[in-house]
């Protein structure tokens, strides 16, 4: 059923705002060009058809290992295998472009992200990730205490964040302007509670929350937090301030694509605690470049590009006595690999559709790995909007709308210090585990989603239609794993990390949270497992 414009905007942005937007938009407003780019949803659905596949005899080749999936986990596994001199492998990627949600686009005046756009500076204990940063020449030695020092040009420049509320821009993400004494008191108490969790250690000295998450304590005081939602945790402690609740809800939408009441309390606290060394410290600064985490994807491609086979859709993985047979569809023909080991670096929910015999003796409940949908839009501007008020906080890297269900936009041009003229803004909208959200998202065409994006941005920048020449949109049907209550510390997640019939799983799903560091950890872990098995 075709929705009216008002119904469309009400679905995404809320009825009151939709009514005002439809009334305010002039009929003659210029609408930019653009298109839907990226993922081909129809390819993945081939897996659900349960076909049988016969590979011609001449289309088989042998390899010691095959990596299935070219996101950060798969690329990290390839990087590590090559460093271990384990070179007889191939990486098969469904799409034309590698990188998953860390991929980026090429444009002017800068390149831009299509998803993940930063990496917090890792603690010194995360040695292998720091090794990668050293290789990429992003570091500038070590501080006296051993912490890695990142070159200044790669650290997010100021101003970093601002929030738009009732017609004005304010500094930061927490809305201090107009806060009542009760708001301020609750925010202070919340920070004290977070500080206690930052400093908490179990009997073996482990932190409650740290990146990567496999280093987190499994003490029941910590794991029991996974049994309730973050919303319930806040209510239990008497945190009811509307501004504080919004702040925590934004955190959940930003990192997990979920609302406060949908998110595990463990995951909510992980967001605030895991990247702070000790109470009183600032959170670790962000490493970022215009193309976001596409910089890492491009580096991996440079290092292992000869092993990557794009547009190779794996349709069948068949464990056998000699190892594993992998069948893929490429250039409209079936091709196969006889290999000893497989690193399965694709979302866990796909495993039963690809791995033959999986459901006969399922090693884990793949349907427990639930994902949510997003859409991302890149807006190509011919100029920047002028500030509406002299005292408005200026354009920042991250620009958030307090009264919108979207996450606002990131200014891809920010890091280059280009503060005037053309720009690229990357707009993020999480579907927040909405019922049928994925189906709903793919039922809308480019014009409808572009209208949602531009209407939302116009709340702060009314002249966006004159400034925006183009809007390209990418729909992520399975953007990230959902850390809902009772999943993070479930038996399902633990079991999925164990090898199954010469298949080693490596994906950020296995951490229950979709972060670069988690994907990197699992890719490196799986690569080392293969190396160990070979010795």
Q: What is the 3-state secondary structure (H, E, C) of 213-242?
A: HHHCCCCHHHHHHHHCEHHHHHHHCCCCCH
The pLDDT score that the predictor gives to residue 435 is 74
CA angle 266, 269, 275 (to 5 degrees): 120
The pLDDT score that the predictor gives to residue 21 is 78
The pLDDT score that the predictor gives to residue 433 is 63
> Is the C-alpha dihedral spanning 206, 118, 387, 164 positive or negative?
negative
Cβ-contact 292, 105 below 8 angstroms: no
Q: How far is CA 6 from CA 13, 376, 448, in A?
A: 10, 21, 11
The pLDDT score that the predictor gives to residue 16 is 81
Which residues does 326 contact at the CB level (< 8 Å), separation at least 6? 66, 68, 92, 314, 316, 317, 318, 336, 337, 339, 342
Closest CA to 88 of 108, 61, 115: 61
What is the rounded CA–CA span in Å between residue 321 and residue 309? 26
Q: Which CATH class is domain 175-284?
A: mainly alpha
The pLDDT score that the predictor gives to residue 438 is 87
Please give the structure tokens belonging to residue 189: 């108490």
Torsions phi, psi for 374 (to 5 deg): -135, 160
pLDDT in tens, the chain (535 residues): 678 899 899 989 998 888 777 766 545 678 999 999 986 666 555 665 556 789 999 999 999 999 999 999 999 999 999 999 999 999 999 999 999 999 999 999 999 999 999 999 999 999 999 999 999 999 999 999 999 999 999 999 999 999 999 999 999 999 999 999 999 999 999 999 999 999 999 999 999 999 999 999 999 999 999 999 999 999 999 999 999 999 999 999 999 999 999 999 999 999 999 999 999 999 999 999 999 999 999 999 999 999 999 999 999 999 999 999 999 999 999 999 999 999 999 999 999 999 999 999 899 999 999 999 999 999 999 999 998 898 999 999 999 999 999 999 999 999 999 889 999 999 999 998 677 788 889 999 999 999 999 999 999 999 999 999 999 999 999 999 999 999 999 999 999 999 999 999 999 999 999 999 999 999 999 999 999 887 5
Residues in the chain: 535
Please give the structure tokens belonging to residue 9: 């905007």
The pLDDT score that the predictor gives to residue 41 is 62
Domain ranges of the chain: 5-30+371-481, 42-103+292-369+485-534, 175-284
Segments of 350-393 assigned E as strands: 371-381
Q: Model-level pTM?
A: 0.96
Q: Is the CATH number 3.30.200 carried by domain 5-30+371-481? A: no
> Is the C-alpha dihedral spanning 45, 51, 52, 54 positive or negative?
negative
What is the rounded CA–CA span in Å between residue 19 and residue 31? 19
Helix, strand, coil share of the chain (percent; to 5): 40, 25, 40
DSSP H helices in 386-436:
none
Superfamily of domain 42-103+292-369+485-534: FAD/NAD(P)-binding domain (3.50.50.60)
293: which DSSP letter?
T
What is the rounded CA–CA span in Å between residue 137 and residue 239? 44
Closest CA to 270 of 349, 205, 215: 215
Instruction: Name the region of 47 (left: φ>0; alpha: ψ -120 to 50; beta: rest).
Output: alpha
Sheet arrangement for strand 33-37: 33-37, 468-481, 371-381, 423-430, 408-411, 398-401, 161-165, 168-171
Cβ-contact 357, 320 below 8 angstroms: no
Cβ-contact 317, 336 below 8 angstroms: no
Closest CA to 100 of 374, 439, 390, 451: 374
Segments of 321-407 assigned E as strands: 323-330, 333-344, 371-381, 398-401
């Amino acid at each position: 059923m075709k929705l009216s414009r008002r119904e469309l905007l009400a679905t995404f942005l809320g009825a009151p705002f939709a009514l005002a937007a439809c009334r305010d938009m002039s009929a003659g407003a210029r609408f930019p060009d653009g298109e839907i780019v990226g993922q081909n949803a129809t390819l993945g659905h081939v897996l659900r058809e349960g076909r049988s596949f016969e590979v011609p005899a001449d289309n088989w080749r042998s390899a010691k290992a095959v990596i299935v999936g070219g996101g950060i986990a798969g690329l990290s596994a390839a990087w590590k295998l090559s460093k271990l001199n384990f070179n007889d492998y191939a990486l098969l990627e469904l799409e034309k472009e590698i990188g998953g949600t860390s991929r980026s686009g090429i444009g002017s005046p800068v390149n831009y992200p299509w998803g993940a756009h930063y990496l917090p500076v890792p603690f010194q204990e995360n040695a292998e990730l720091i090794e990668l940063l050293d290789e990429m020449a992003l570091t500038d030695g070590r501080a006296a205490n051993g912490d890695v020092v990142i070159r200044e040009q790669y650290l997010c420049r100021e101003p970093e964040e601002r929030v738009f509320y009732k017609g004005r821009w304010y500094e930061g993400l927490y809305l201090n302007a107009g806060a009542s004494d009760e708001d301020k008191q609750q925010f202070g108490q919340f920070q004290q509670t977070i500080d206690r969790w930052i400093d908490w250690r179990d009997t073996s000295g482990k932190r409650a929350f740290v990146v990567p998450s496999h280093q987190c304590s499994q003490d029941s005081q910590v794991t029991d937090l996974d049994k309730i939602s973050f919303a319930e945790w806040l209510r239990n402690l008497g945190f009811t301030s509307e501004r504080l609740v919004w702040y925590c809800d934004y955190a959940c939408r930003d990192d997990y694509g979920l609302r406060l009441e949908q998110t595990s309390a463990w995951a909510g606290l992980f967001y605030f605690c895991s990247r702070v060394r000790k109470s009183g410290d600032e959170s670790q600064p962000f490493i970022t470049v215009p193309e976001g985490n596409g910089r890492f994807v491009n580096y991996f491609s440079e290092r292992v590009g000869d092993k990557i086979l794009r547009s190779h859709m794996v349709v069948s993985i068949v464990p056998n006595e000699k190892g594993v047979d992998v069948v893929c569809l490429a250039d409209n023909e079936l091709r196969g690999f006889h290999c000893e080991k497989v690193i399965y670096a694709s979302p866990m929910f796909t495993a039963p559709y690809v791995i033959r015999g999986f459901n006969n003796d399922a090693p884990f409940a793949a349907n427990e790995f639930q994902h949510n949908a997003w859409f991302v839009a890149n807006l190509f501007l011919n100029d920047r909007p002028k500030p509406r008020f002299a005292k408005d906080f200026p354009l920042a890297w991250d620009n958030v709308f307090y009264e919108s269900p979207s996450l606002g936009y990131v200014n891809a041009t920010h890091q280059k210090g280009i503060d005037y003229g053309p720009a690229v803004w990357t707009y993020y909208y999480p579907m927040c585990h909405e019922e049928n959200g994925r189906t709903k998202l793919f039922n809308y065409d480019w014009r409808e989603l572009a209208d949602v994006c531009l209407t939302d941005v116009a709340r702060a920048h009314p002249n966006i239609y004159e400034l925006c020449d183009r809007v390209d949109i990418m729909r992520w049907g399975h953007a990230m794993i959902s850390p809902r209550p009772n999943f993070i510390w479930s038996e399902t997640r633990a079991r999925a990390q164990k090898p199954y019939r010469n298949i080693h799983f490596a994906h950020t799903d296995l951490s229950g949270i979709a972060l670069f560091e988690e994907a990197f950890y699992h890719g490196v872990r799986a690569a080392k497992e293969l190396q160990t098995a070979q010795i």
